[in-house]
Structure 1
Amino acid sequence: MDRLLAMQVFTRIVELGAFGKAADSLGLPRASVTLLIKQLERHLGVQLLHRTTRQVSPTLDGHAYYDRCLRLLSDLEETESFFSQTRNNPQGRLRVDLPTSLAARVVIPALPEFCARYPRIQLEVGASDRPVDLIREGVDCVLRAGEVHDTSLMARPLAQLPQITCASSAYLQRHGTPQSIAELQDHLAVNYLSALTGRCFPLDFINDGERIELQLPGSLSVNSAESYVAACEAGMGIIQAPYYHLCEQLAAGTLCEILAQYRPAPMPLTALYPQQRQLSRRVRVFVDWLVELFAREDLVSCPQPLD
């Protein structure tokens, strides 16, 4: 029995909750995964997993063994990473998940630079606007916009993305351009649904240092950033979004900034990764590269509103 492989297989089963998913994530035949776990349990003399027709979960001994496996595998990766670091050439697969608009407009266009710097890293990039379960889905690193509340993950702040309030020129012709927050009572919003709560995010304004939240009515709610901006361009209502996602529409005149004197607070952008991945050389170099990328002035700047 390959005990190292058996530990890797066991930890993936615990994380994904299924033999088949673990086999697929590791590129192994399902029969080999089943055999390895049987051999591992026989070698240790304990049952590690509860098996039912619907799910697989660790026993008490399995929980204890899982924790020790994570530390051993992390130590092994750190040791191997040391030698990769001296050659400045980390290698292996790196799975990341990015918000859709950031992936398309910022990160993916810059990836040739990262790949040229680290040619032996094989990137797998997912783009979605839903919260990803890093452990269960086998993702090494995610970018999340907004406040982070998951304390089980390691967090690295990347940027504070300036946000603006916008509407289409057609919408403003029909409804008028609001000059104050109070005038918004006669307006509509495109509402953005939270993937966690299913509720609509309110519009957010800063007036003399005070934060003001408003929930405007609207005939359309969406759950993706691309749909959110597209609905605004179609004249469905007012939105708030990071400037980088709207700058092309502003330049083309299809969207207009409104209430610039009450711009919302910047949106924090954070890289998150599981605690056991904090020593991974692949994760570290990717997150360091993201810090460099978002430090560039054109990504975190926004023209000042006119007086």
Structure 2
Amino acid sequence: MQNLEPILIFITVAEMGSFTRAADSLGIQKGRASTAVRKLEEDLGVRLLHRTTRSVQLTEDGRAFHSRARDLLAEVDDLHSMFAGDHVALRGRLRVDLPTEVARTTIVPALPDFMEAHPELELEISSTDRQVDLVQEGFDCVLRLGAVRDETLIARPIGMLRMVNAASPAYLAHYGVPQSLEDLQRQKHRTIHFSTMLGARPHGWEYPDGNSYATLQLPGALHVNGAQTYDAAALAGLGLIQAPLLGIGQYFRSGALVGSCPIFAAGRFPSPLS
């Protein structure tokens, strides 16, 4: 697979728009990246990139080649994974971004055994609740909750997380325990709005609707972009939340949070993990 290296370098340069950033991301010298792409152009007999002192842009031929090259590397990854068993040791540097609560509760506790099995692997882990830019920030892969809305990403579902509706006992004592969608509005319930980008339109309160899900827009004065702040706001009695049970299960066990909206999907609807 060594002959695919120039293609990987070209794709990284094209997507990062810079030989310097691409070389840093790949852990190689800038000159090596430039030479690899130039040699690839010579082999193909076409110019793939427009180069200026300030930017690197794809040519028309480059755009066509880039699209096919991405598909090719994805197929190669699939071929590798077909025959890579648990006995195959991983090596090199891997930069990964994870949701904060998934990192805290699931991934990091499992790392000792994983790192012992792959002693030549160097991990760089970022834990954030915003949507990172894989290319510009140099991530090799990310783990994300919910639907993948970026069609340029190659995503594979790896599981489902149990979601729950929750609030503090003090909040429910004040507003009442909603038994229906109508109660959410009649009792003037408030939700804590969560979005990875502050200022974005709130997703709304999600509930099962046949074989799918629908949303109900509820008022709420607080908008947050971090899972821990989201949980803290619910603990403080500021509103209703919908969150993965793996992150807030400890608060259920202690009684600091309790289930709300019991007749529609509290604890029943899953969120994809990919």
TM-score normalised per structure 2: 0.79
Map 1:115-194 to 2 at 5 A. 115-185=115-185, 186-193=188-195
Checking the alignment, whether the CA contact within 8 Å between 1:81 and 1:90 is kept in structure 2 is no
After TM superposition, the structure 1 stretch with the greater mean CA deviation from structure 2, 46-55 or 218-227, is 46-55
More helix by share: 1
After TM superposition, the structure 1 stretch with the greater mean CA deviation from structure 2, 70-79 or 134-143, is 70-79
- Please give the alpha-carbon distance, in whole angstroms, between the structure 1 residues aligned to 2:147 and 2:75: 31
Deviation at 1:194, TM superposition (A): 5.5
Match of 1:228 in 2: 230
Relative to structure 1, is the Cα distance of residues 243 and 270 closer, same or farther in structure 2, using a 3 angstrom cutoff? Answer: closer
Percentage of matched positions with identical amino acids: 39
Deviation at 1:169, TM superposition (A): 2.3
SS in 2 for 1:261: coil
SS in 2 for 1:145: coil
After TM superposition, the structure 1 stretch with the greater mean CA deviation from structure 2, 81-90 or 114-123, is 81-90
Deviation at 1:231, TM superposition (A): 1.1
Checking the alignment, whether the CA contact within 8 Å between 1:164 and 1:241 is kept in structure 2 is yes
Relative to structure 1, is the Cα distance of residues 212 and 153 closer, same or farther in structure 2, using a 3 angstrom cutoff? Answer: closer
Q: Which of the residues 266, 272, 293 maps onto 2:269?
A: 266
What root-mean-square deviation, in Å, do the aligned CA atoms of Structure 1 and Structure 2 show? 3.6
Map 1:1-307 to 2 at 5 A. 6-30=6-30, 33-34=33-34, 37=37, 46-64=46-64, 66=66, 88-185=88-185, 186-193=188-195, 195=197, 198-206=200-208, 211=213, 213-264=215-266, 266-271=269-274
After TM superposition, the structure 1 stretch with the greater mean CA deviation from structure 2, 166-175 or 145-154, is 145-154
Relative to structure 1, is the Cα distance of residues 82 and 16 closer, same or farther in structure 2, using a 3 angstrom cutoff? Answer: same
SS in 1 for 2:143: strand
After TM superposition, the structure 1 stretch with the greater mean CA deviation from structure 2, 252-261 or 125-134, is 125-134
- Please give the alpha-carbon distance, in whole angstroms, between the structure 2 residues aligned to 1:102 and 1:86: 23
- Please give the alpha-carbon distance, in whole angstroms, between the structure 1 residues aligned to 2:108 and 2:160: 19
**What one-letter code is carried by the residue in structure 2 that aligns with 1:245?**
G
Deviation at 1:13, TM superposition (A): 0.7
SS in 2 for 1:144: coil
Deviation at 1:121, TM superposition (A): 2.7
Match of 1:303 in 2: none
Aligned residues: 270
Deviation at 1:109, TM superposition (A): 1.2
Checking the alignment, whether the CA contact within 8 Å between 2:194 and 2:224 is kept in structure 1 is yes
After TM superposition, the structure 1 stretch with the greater mean CA deviation from structure 2, 117-126 or 85-94, is 85-94
Deviations 1:169-221 (A, max 9, x none): 23233333334432222121111225499110211234887855321111101
Q: Which has the higher contact order (CA 8 A, sep 6+)?
A: 1
- Please give the alpha-carbon distance, in whole angstroms, between the structure 2 residues aligned to 1:69 and 1:16: 16
Deviation at 1:19, TM superposition (A): 1.8
- Please give the alpha-carbon distance, in whole angstroms, between the structure 2 residues aligned to 1:38 and 1:256: 61
TM-score normalised per structure 1: 0.71
Deviation at 1:94, TM superposition (A): 2.6
Deviation at 1:6, TM superposition (A): 4.9
